[in-house]
Amino acid sequence: MNICIDARSLLERKWGGVSWYATEMTRAILQCPLSASCDIRLFVSGRNDQAFENIKRNAPWLAQEGTLCRTHLPNILLHMLLVGCNAPQIDMLAFRNAKPDITWLPNWNISATSSPYVLTIHDLSIFHYPEAYSWKERMWHALVRIRKMIANAHHIIAVSEFTAHDMIRMFDVPESKITIIHEGVDERFFTPPSEKHKRYIQKKYHLPPAFILGFYGNARKNITLLSSIRHNLPLPLILIGSSDLPFVQEQDKPGVYALADCLVYPSLFEGFGLPILEAMAGGTPVIASNTTSIPEVVDNAGLLISPYQPLQWLKAIQELHNDTALRNELMCKGTERARQFTWERAAREWWECMQI
């Protein structure tokens, strides 16, 4: 079977959730025994050599395990052609003289394919919270023509039951057209860092001896709630993505999670919520919203609270800080729960989708 994977998300200057999802899934897909009988090619485009340095740095194994097929057509020109002419077909650019059988799109993108495509949908937040996106981001989503992409997909992978049901409600997608494949957690998040390494991480990122960890982001991340209780918390609040902690290198994330007293995640809308699992894998207790996909991920391994009740959040954080038995319980449950989510399982289920 000839399979094309749209790997353009790996060319992002700053890798986000989709880039890492595509990377981890692709690695697990290529390591699966079924890959030995297939020709799998990863399509990338653009003339910016610096962008390819990101791939070499973050996914050096691609050079050995994956066939990276690059067109030097500038991305802006490629997008103009795809929007205006519905060409060129990215799977044909990857295979050139061979006939592709199927294409996997790890996220919606401006695309055209000659073969049937399987599309991964992470969430529909652009429809629920359009105000959380810049005008450029909204314009890009409009050019992608998401509704049409979903309608024309051969099959759809949803990363959570919530996202699957959201698609069915919003776009009347037949349930038989959707397969739910949860994301996974890399093994390195389960390995406790040494005290020496934790001291190194603390010094590198100028972290206080003890702190509560959260994530900064757009409106749907609900930073307003954390701001309203920040000055009453028992420990300093450090938000990844803010001036507190602008950026954390991927290899340093386990150490940052390990240093945190707990992770607070009051998001209003999530398609999955991978940072929650990453924190739980290393034994960091989690307090998270009881909305959208989050209860599906956390189950009973964390404290789930309405994202509209700041006083309940403050009470839960204080209780967790003072109750050693509760902390130990959540640490154990969290690691056990995270063990249920692996990229290997996700890849096996992905291969089943390729046979549909």
Domain that holds residue 200: 187-338
Q: Are residues 161 and 206 in the same domain?
A: no
Return the closest-CA partner of residue 354 out of 121, 94, 35, 41: 35
Q: Are residues 235 and 145 in the same domain?
A: no
Q: Are residues 320 and 348 in the same domain?
A: no
Return the closest-CA partner of residue 277 out of 24, 2, 66: 24
pLDDT of residue 59: 84
Q: Are residues 123 and 208 in the same domain?
A: no
Q: Are residues 124 and 225 in the same domain?
A: no
Mean pLDDT of 288-302: 98
Residues 66-102, buried b or exposed e (16+ Cβ, 10 A)? Answer: bebbbbeeebeebbeebeeeeebbbbbbbbeeeebbb
Q: Are residues 130 and 8 in the same domain?
A: yes
Q: Are residues 288 and 191 in the same domain?
A: yes
Mean pLDDT of 67-83: 89
| pLDDT grade for 16, boundaries at 50, 70 and 90 | confident
Per the confidence metrics, is the pTM higher than 0.75? Answer: yes
Res. 127: pLDDT tops 80:
yes
Q: Are residues 101 and 171 in the same domain?
A: yes
Q: Are residues 160 and 20 in the same domain?
A: yes
Q: Are residues 156 and 194 in the same domain?
A: no
Q: CATH number, domain at 173?
A: 3.40.50.2000
Q: Are residues 122 and 235 in the same domain?
A: no
The count of domains in the chain is 2
Mean pLDDT of 154-159: 98
Q: Are residues 176 and 253 in the same domain?
A: no
How confident is the model over 241-256, as pLDDT tens digits? 999 999 999 999 999 9
